[in-house]
Amino acid sequence: MPSLDSLLAEELRGLEEAGLLRALVPLDGGCDAEVEVDGRRHLLLSSNNYLGLAGHPALRAAAREAVDRWGCGAGSSRLIAGHFALHGDLEAALARFKGTAAALVFPSGYQANIGTIGALVARGDHVFSDELNHASIIDGCRLSRATVHVYPHGDVATLRRQLAGSPPSGRLIVTDSVFSMDGDRAPLRDLSALAREYHSILMIDEAHATGCLGAHGAGLAEDEGLTDAIDVHMGTLGKALGAAGAYIAGSRPLVDLVVNRARSFVFTTGLAPAVAAAARAALDVVAREPERRARLRANADRLRTGLRALGLDARGDTHIVPVVVGDNRAAVALAEALRRRGVLAHPIRPPTVPPGTARLRVTPMASHTTAQIDHALLAFAEAARETGIPR
Ligand SMILES: *Cc1c(COP(=O)(O)O)cnc(C)c1O
């Protein structure tokens, strides 16, 4: 009998041969515009710390004060003895930020999605999900045991046919608002019209839009003036907001139901005090420093235009700039050539993206200077020449 470890090693060899092996790269220091790896400075173009808030002095100070006042851990689940006034304050601030009656925080976005979807639909119900939705939405749909209808990316005509052919109650449409690996936007206006016409719940995941889009940074729904047309607003506190955790926002009955039904809320320890306080402080920074959103947008535009001028397939129309390469190994080779030049741009491969569409997911931050963006473009020019991309 082969040992367990030799079987596992065999599986890992298979992943490596397919160009799909993933490994952890330790950073010596926090997530910032530049990070230290292997004792060298690298320009970081792979984080979701879009506004550069993870290291912001106001968040650091709030986290420190929270540790002094509340300690390190919540100590139990929110429903037992882990609900502090701090959590309530954060939720009230999130509801104001999102323009909803109520909000609820979860320890992670993954948990927010699996818990909320499972709280809203069950066996016999129907969920309609964009094919490029985040893995946590996909898993939430599966765990709910509802019948899942996957519609082609952004294809509202197909969605309409699927809705028309489904029973008239127990329907949920769920979508990313900004798609994490493509950097494009969901057709929210069409989706909200369909949700109304077919009496469906509409849930959007603003993980990549929260803090970045909209007049006040509340997300794509705010940007399009559709806040009231969305039943469930979900977003994360660990990306542009620089902390960790996630929220859902909507009506009071929605939040009360999720408190009762979402297993990933009920059966998990409350958000750590330092994290809740940092997220609360981030909301103030987002309100106070709107120039960060403008700076992020300008950096993304400059990057996308420059990458296209190099002949690279830079897509999207937000602060996420995917450079589609196609082949897994070619994407890895391009990322390695960039890394040798001091630029970290992570290769994204299946199953995160569809086969044949491996890419570098390039994400600038508000804290990058124009000189740093131009340095990245120079590195891309050399790395692309060296690796023969585009072919
Ligand atoms: C990152 C992400 C999540 C998960 O959020 P975490 O807080 O990191 O667990 C959910 N949805 C989308 C679209 C994401 O990009």
Could you tell me the residue ranges of all domains in the chain? 18-47+290-387, 57-288
- Ligand 1, residue 176: give the atom nearest the CA: 13
Instruction: Give, as one character, the DSSP assignment of residue 3.
Output: -
Query: Structure pTM?
Result: 0.96
Pair of tokens at residue 172: 């949920």
Pair of tokens at residue 255: 């939040």
**Structural domain 18-47+290-387, CATH architecture:** Alpha-Beta Complex (3.90)
Q: Is 134 in the pocket of ligand 1 (CB under 6 A)?
A: yes
- CA-CA-CA-CA torsion sign (56, 62, 65, 67): negative
pLDDT at res. 203 = 99
**Structural domain 57-288, CATH architecture:** 3-Layer(aba) Sandwich (3.40)
Alpha carbon dihedral 132, 352, 278, 250, in 10-degree steps, equals: 20
Specify whether the CB–CB gap between 303 and 104 falls below 8 A: no
Q: Is 100 in the pocket of ligand 1 (CB under 6 A)?
A: no
CA of 205 to the centre of ligand 1 (A): 8
Q: Is 110 in the pocket of ligand 1 (CB under 6 A)?
A: yes
Which element (helix H / strand E) includes 195? helix 188-197
Q: Which listed residue (42, 87, 208, 319) is catalytic?
A: 208
For ligand 1, pick from 134, 174, 320 the residue to mutate: most ligand atoms within 8 Å of CB.
134
Specify whether the CB–CB gap between 121 and 127 falls below 8 A: yes
Pair of tokens at residue 86: 């701090």
CA of 371 to the centre of ligand 1 (A): 30
Residue nearest to atom 8 of ligand 1 (CA): 109
Q: What is d(CA 175, CA 191) in angstroms, rounded to the nearest whole number?
A: 9
Alpha carbon dihedral 39, 45, 47, 49, in 10-degree steps, equals: 100
Cα atoms in the 13 Å half-sphere on the side-chain side of 216: 14
CA of 105 to the centre of ligand 1 (A): 13
Residue 208 designated active-site: yes
CA of 246 to the centre of ligand 1 (A): 8
CA of 181 to the centre of ligand 1 (A): 12
For ligand 1, pick from 46, 50, 110, 184 the residue to mutate: most ligand atoms within 8 Å of CB.
110
Q: Which listed residue (180, 192, 200, 264) is catalytic?
A: 180
- Ligand 1, residue 236: give the atom nearest the CA: 7
Q: Is 207 in the pocket of ligand 1 (CB under 6 A)?
A: yes
Q: What tens-digit pLDDT sequence spans the chain (391 residues)?
A: 899 999 999 999 999 998 888 889 888 888 889 999 888 999 999 999 999 999 999 999 999 999 999 999 999 999 999 999 999 999 999 999 999 999 999 999 999 999 999 999 999 999 999 999 999 999 999 999 999 999 999 999 999 999 999 999 999 999 999 999 999 999 999 999 999 999 999 999 999 999 999 999 999 999 999 999 999 999 999 999 999 999 999 999 999 999 999 999 999 999 999 999 999 999 999 999 999 999 999 999 999 999 999 999 999 999 999 999 999 999 999 999 999 999 999 999 998 999 999 999 999 999 999 999 999 999 999 999 999 998 7
